[in-house]
Amino acid sequence: MALDLKLISEIREITGAGMNDVKIALDEADGDKEKAIDILRKKGVVKAAKKEDRATSQGVVHAYIHAGGRVGTLVKLMCETDFVARTDKFQALAHDLAMHVAAANPLYMAESDVPEAVIEKEKEIYREQLRAEGKSDAVWDKILEGKLQKFFADVCLLQQPYFKEESTTVKQVVQNAIATMGENIQIGGFSRLSL
């Protein structure tokens, strides 16, 4: 396959992958841009998973105040080195995550952080809804699981659809950043205040 430098450049801009990785992905995808991007993202997620156990002792606490000053957020974004913490890409990620928290108002970081009492209360509400709708008991478990996953996607930061790209979760955005920047990146915490 002949090299299309413009296409390689576009894919590198989108994914942050190296030139060699883009060439390999394009070969695997027979020159299809979208397939190549998917291949790179899948490889990036695998690389990110390998780095998730590495210590994150550096980073930034980023503050965002929404226009009008009625909503403000703080996001603690962690990485492995001070060098990465000072890069424009890392700072931009921290800013975007703070904006996401302002827009989406998550209550918890992840599904594991939701108290059992809250989960049981949600299940109780869903059971009442199913009873009122006359749904058969045989399908309740499957419906309850689906409703709970939707609840977690609404209230858990890492599972929320990313405000800039609804087809991607916040967790996937962080994993893509890990693949791009080459270090473990974790959201260490967040806070949102509003009037």
% of the chain with per-residue pLDDT over 90: 44
**Alpha-carbon gap, residue 30 to 36, rounded angstroms:** 8
Query: Do 158 and 110 touch, CB atoms closer than 8 A?
Result: yes
In tens, the pLDDT along 100-154 reads 999 999 999 999 999 999 999 998 888 888 888 877 777 777 888 888 999 999 9
Amino acid at 129: Q
**Cα distance between residue 62 and residue 53, in whole Å:** 23
